[in-house]
Amino acid sequence: MPATETAVWDTFLSTIQQSLNSSTFNTWFTKLEFSHVHNNKLIVNAPGNYFGDYVTIQYREEIERAVEVALGEAGELLIRKGEVPENPHPAEPATPSRSIQSLIPARQEPYTPDLSWTTLNAKYQFHNFIEGDGNRMARSAAMACANKPGKTIFNPLFVYGDVGLGKTHLIQAIGNQVVADNPNRKVLYLASETYYHHYVETTKENRSTDFANLFRNVNVLILDDIQFLTGKEKTQVELFHTFNILFQAGKQLVFSSDRPPKDLKGMEFRLISRLGSGFTIDLQPLDLETRSAILVKRAEELDTELPDDVIHFIAANVTSNIRELEQALVHVMGMASLKQMEITLPLAKSALQRIISERPVTIGVDLIQKSVAEFFEIPESKLLGKTRTKKISTARHMAMYLTYRLTNNSKKDIGLFFGGKDHSSVIYAIRNVENSILTDPETGLLVDNLIRRIRQTASS
Ligand code: ADP
Ligand code: MG
């Protein structure tokens, strides 16, 4: 790596070090791992999923200033989620997003979709998917698919289960494995919500044939959270045709959902029967021992000492949701670093008060928008618009924050769902709300109240 690139990173670190106290600096910034500099972007890896988000949101201003010193005004810091590789030298790029351009038949006026929506996340691998009774069968089936895509009885593979149990991790692990074994294979991974949005957009532009063509030449198609397509009839018809073409060509199809195919009310019968025609398997909550093992592994990755009683407390209270285990851990670390205290059981208890009272259910962006608009007594369309009166922007920030907190969408996608805002507006909104939760007890209560309403509606 060129010496100048390392110098950029060193400058960044020493600048940011000056603006933070040493415990904050050590907790968050020493764990980022420098990868490389590209196009004025300082690219680093963060351990785990939630860690990078926390750092970007919490220390945004300090980061912006340090990046400016290191790279100039146009510079940017890009924190990639994922495991910090053990051998940091060959900076592994995230699994390359498939070149979809090469899948599209030539036409006079080339269709140039935004390809960022199809990327696999390199952090989701089989080796870091810890096995327990609740996921053993699903893991084996997924590995079989990955070894012989399209050539086993596990086609389509349909994985279902509650939120946070590892569906996304598992089905992306299939994609990552297939590409690692043979980089020429084309794997397309999409959240169904993204699939839907792009279908709608391309149809509006009379480009639905182009959209359909995107899927015609893939070896493996992975669609996450397919329950999102219930009630969306046209998109279902589109998917039905794609399914048939790929299946008949012996390609691998993988789906995830929060419920089994037969319970997908609002889904066309013929599609339900296709979805369930291969192998259907559920993920069950993991037992305490497996949850503790996951937590210990995460803490190791984050270089954080966790006393046994804290591990036990977190694993015992965050029972049904693996995603929240990591969130819980990062929250505890955040509280310790804000208060400059060691991690102890009382500290963990006070940090997690709010998290552990929440029950997991699947929540869609539309439900969040509807509930927030109702609560603030404004039309839902205003949340997606540009009006900046205080009431509307407060409501919009709140809705973006809740979407970030309660769903699995990236900040970029959240921007898309709120009328095409960019990713920095989403960061700004999230941090605004997080900070006012810390300083203003009323905001905390309001957030709790909204979450309760949204969860109630979602589970009823
Ligand atoms: P879902 O898609 O079912 O909502 P995710 O796949 O997003 O759940 O999982 C939530 C988080 O928990 C992710 O960070 C994932 O890596 C982690 N996770 C889930 N199951 C396991 C497991 N068995 N071993 C290690 N990490 C896991
Ligand atoms: Mg998921």
Q: Residues 132-177: pLDDT tens digits?
A: 989 999 999 999 999 999 999 999 999 999 888 999 999 999 999 9
Q: What is the mean pLDDT of residues 259-288?
A: 93
- Whether ligand 1 lies within 6 angstroms of the CB of 227 is answered as no
Pair of tokens at residue 286? 């993991």
Mutate-to-test residue for ligand 1 from 322, 329, 408, highest number of ligand atoms within 8 A of CB:
322
Helix-helix angle 345-352:322-339, to 10 degrees = 110
Contact 259, 150 (CB under 8 A): no
Contact 143, 175 (CB under 8 A): no
Å from CA of 416 to ligand 1 middle: 24
Give Cβ neighbours of residue 354 (< 8 Å, ≥ 6 apart).
Answer: 444, 448
Task: Give the number of the atom of ligand 1 that is nearest the alpha carbon of residue 132.
Answer: 23
pTM greater than 0.75 (yes/no): no
Q: How far apart are CA 84 and CA 44, in angstroms?
A: 9
Pair of tokens at residue 283? 């993920």
Task: Give the number of the atom of ligand 1 that is nearest the alpha carbon of residue 322.
Answer: 12
Q: How far apart are CA 35 and CA 82, in angstroms?
A: 12
Helix intervals (H) in 223-268: 233-248
| Closest-approaching ligand to the CA atom of 138 | 1
Mutate-to-test residue for ligand 1 from 121, 140, 169, highest number of ligand atoms within 8 A of CB:
169
Residue 96 CB neighbours (<10 A) = 11
Å from CA of 225 to ligand 2 middle: 6
Which residues have C-beta under 5 Å from ligand 2, the single-atom ion? 167-168, 408
DSSP state of 41: E
pLDDT over 90, % of the chain: 43
Pair of tokens at residue 186? 């084309």
Kindly tell me if the per-residue pLDDT of 99 is higher than 70.
no
Q: How far apart are CA 405 and CA 169, in angstroms?
A: 18
Residue 78 DSSP SS3: strand
Mean predicted lDDT score pLDDT of the chain: 85
Kindly tell me if the per-residue pLDDT of 92 is higher than 50.
no
* Ligand 1, atom 9: closest residue by C-alpha: 166
Q: Which of 86, 94, 83 is nearest to 36 (CA)?
A: 94
Q: What is the mean pLDDT of residues 223-244?
A: 95
- Whether ligand 1 lies within 6 angstroms of the CB of 326 is answered as yes
Pair of tokens at residue 192? 């169904």
Q: Which pLDDT belongs to residue 1?
A: 59
Contact 302, 333 (CB under 8 A): yes
Q: How far apart are CA 242 and CA 75, in angstroms?
A: 41
Q: Which pLDDT belongs to residue 115?
A: 46
- Whether ligand 1 lies within 6 angstroms of the CB of 134 is answered as no
Å from CA of 292 to ligand 1 middle: 14
Q: What is the mean pLDDT of residues 403-424?
A: 84
- Whether ligand 1 lies within 6 angstroms of the CB of 164 is answered as yes
Q: Which pLDDT belongs to residue 409?
A: 74
Instruction: Please confirm whether the linkage preceding 47 is cis (ω < 30° from 0).
Output: no
- Whether ligand 1 lies within 6 angstroms of the CB of 135 is answered as yes
105 confidence band (pLDDT: 50, 70, 90): very low
Q: How far apart are CA 169 and CA 361, in angstroms?
A: 18
Q: How far apart are CA 36 and CA 257, in angstroms?
A: 37
Q: How far apart are CA 221 and CA 145, in angstroms?
A: 12
Kindly tell me if the per-residue pLDDT of 122 is higher than 70.
yes
Asked which of 35-49, 160-174, 184-198, 292-306 is least confident by mean pLDDT, the reply is 35-49
Stretch (H or E) spanning 274: helix 269-275
Q: Which pLDDT belongs to residue 355?
A: 64
Kindly report, residue by residue over 36-69, the tens digit of the pLDDT: 888 888 888 887 667 887 788 778 888 999 999 9
